[in-house]
Amino acid sequence: MTEIFSPKNIIVTGGAGFIGSNFVHYVVNNHPGVHVTVLDALTYAGNRENLAGIPDDRLTFIHGNICDAELLDRIVPQADAIVHYAAESHNDNSIADPEPFVKTNVEGTFRLLEAARKYDVRFHHVSTDEVYGDLALDDPHKFTEETPYHPSSPYSSTKASSDMMVRAWHRTFGLRTTISNCSNNYGPYQHVEKFIPRQITNVLEGIRPKLYGAGLNVRDWIHTEDHSRAVWTILTQGRLGETYLIGANGEKNNIDVIEMILSIMGKPSDDYDHVKDRPGHDRRYAIDSTKLQTELGWKPLYTDFESGLKKTVEWYTEHRAWWEPTKQATEAKYKKQGQ
């Protein structure tokens, strides 16, 4: 049985982004003895409002860049652990301009690993199932921790690079690390450029939703709260040097998701437009989370995708002031790309 790690001060990089901020809320709500320092560059995907309502005595917010070694020298010595969410993560953006992805995902991870090594701080790296490439639509297999890496976009290749560096720093320098690779998250605070919030906010704005190609591409959806619980479980109970896959058996093709959103929102299920497919668009992702479930006892709570999706629709309907400021610019960018 692995000894339980009980951090008191954690740094969460990218903690003002979608998945990172949900993790911060989860920790603050469920682990009262933990103080969280959020380090976030507040690029377009980070939003200070995502952390609204968290008591000041539980949270320190630092507006800064993970590539800033001097800043890391100031804040890392006070931490027990770094939970590394910060990443450029949008495939379309990586195709249009890969450079920020290399800077943040590769160099940024290197800077954090070096700071963690210097001050002997535990390091959990949050990654993606996209490092494994994709599966055929009719393939019965799912990704496991043993699946070879086969990234297909500039985004996923930079995440694959960062995963490899974390493994190397564990093996070569003995850094106390864990890695998680997760399937597609959904839930509150997700930027309107992403698939589910884009469709929900389109309907709320009276715009017909957009579907890439034939819509047969399959994603394995997990509610962000289940992801947060899994990351905490791995951080505190995971075996050092190990990788754990996080998934909730939520495979759905894009056409089913868009039609489910429309029907939840009281629209005809065919009320959407097809747009040209993304270059190199991965066909299917599917996660086998057996290792996480059997070794560490984690189980997803949101096992009914439709009810999780209904809650997500409600959140975007009730929080128009949160997403409206970024909606127009996002749609203008997609229009320029013909999407």
| Average pLDDT of the residues in 216-241 | 96
Proportion of the chain above pLDDT 70, given as a percent: 97
The one-letter amino acid code at 72 reads L
Residues sharing a CB contact under 8 Å with residue 228, sequence separation 6 or more, in sequence order: 19, 22, 23, 25, 26, 27
Return the H-helix or E-strand segment holding 161: helix 154-173
Q: How far apart are CA 191 and CA 211, in angstroms?
A: 17
| Average pLDDT of the residues in 274-296 | 88
Looking up tokens 């954690």 gives 10
| Average pLDDT of the residues in 34-46 | 93
Residues sharing a CB contact under 8 Å with residue 57, sequence separation 6 or more, in sequence order: 35
pLDDT at 335 over 80: no
Q: Which residues are catalytic?
A: 129-130, 155
Confidence of residue 97 (pLDDT cuts 50, 70, 90): confident
Q: How far apart are CA 34 and CA 59, in angstroms?
A: 9
Confidence of residue 1 (pLDDT cuts 50, 70, 90): low
2 vs 272, higher pLDDT:
272
Average pLDDT, the chain: 93
pLDDT at 313 over 70: yes
pLDDT at 75 over 70: yes
Q: Which range (56-60, 89-93, 139-143, 186-190) has the least confidence?
A: 89-93
Best mean pLDDT range from 90-94, 100-104, 158-162, 331-335: 158-162
109 secondary structure, DSSP code: H
| Average pLDDT of the residues in 110-133 | 97
CATH second-level architecture of 9-191+223-251+284-305? 3-Layer(aba) Sandwich (3.40)
Q: How far apart are CA 241 and CA 164, in angstroms?
A: 11
Q: What pLDDT score was predicted for residue 339?
A: 56
> Any idea where the domains of the chain sit in the sequence?
9-191+223-251+284-305
Q: How far apart are CA 147 and CA 289, in angstroms?
A: 13
Which residues share a beta bridge with 251?
220
Q: From the centroid of its chain, how far is CA 296?
A: 21
Confidence of residue 2 (pLDDT cuts 50, 70, 90): low
Q: For residue 87, give both structure tokens.
A: 């990443």
287 secondary structure, DSSP code: B
Per residue in 187-227, pLDDT (tens digit) is 999 999 899 999 999 999 999 998 988 899 999 999 999 99
Q: Which range (90-99, 237-246, 317-326, 330-339) has the least confidence?
A: 330-339
Helix (H, G, I), strand (E, B) or coil at 33: coil
Q: How far apart are CA 12 and CA 122, in angstroms?
A: 12
Q: What pLDDT score was predicted for residue 330?
A: 80
- Burial classification of residue 315, based on how many CB atoms lie within 10 Å of its CB (0-12 exposed, 13-18 middle, 19 or more buried): middle
- Burial classification of residue 141, based on how many CB atoms lie within 10 Å of its CB (0-12 exposed, 13-18 middle, 19 or more buried): exposed
| Average pLDDT of the residues in 254-260 | 96
Q: How far apart are CA 123 and CA 163, in angstroms?
A: 12
Are the C-beta atoms of 133 and 187 separated by less than 8 Å?
no
Q: Which range (25-29, 221-225, 322-326, 332-336) has the least confidence?
A: 332-336
Helix (H, G, I), strand (E, B) or coil at 242: coil
Confidence of residue 317 (pLDDT cuts 50, 70, 90): very high
Q: What pLDDT score was predicted for residue 14?
A: 97
Confidence of residue 94 (pLDDT cuts 50, 70, 90): confident
Q: From the centroid of its chain, how far is CA 74?
A: 26
Q: Which long-range contacts (CB under 8 A, 24 or more apart) does 53-62 make?
A: 54/24, 54/25, 54/28, 55/28, 58/28, 58/34, 59/24, 59/28, 59/35, 60/35, 60/36, 61/16, 61/37, 62/37, 62/38
Q: How far apart are CA 191 and CA 185, in angstroms?
A: 12
Q: What pLDDT score was predicted for residue 93?
A: 77
Q: Would the pTM of this model clear 0.85, i.e. be above it?
A: yes
Q: What pLDDT score was predicted for residue 275?
A: 87
Which residues share a beta bridge with 37?
11, 60
pLDDT at 5 over 90: yes
pLDDT at 331 over 80: no
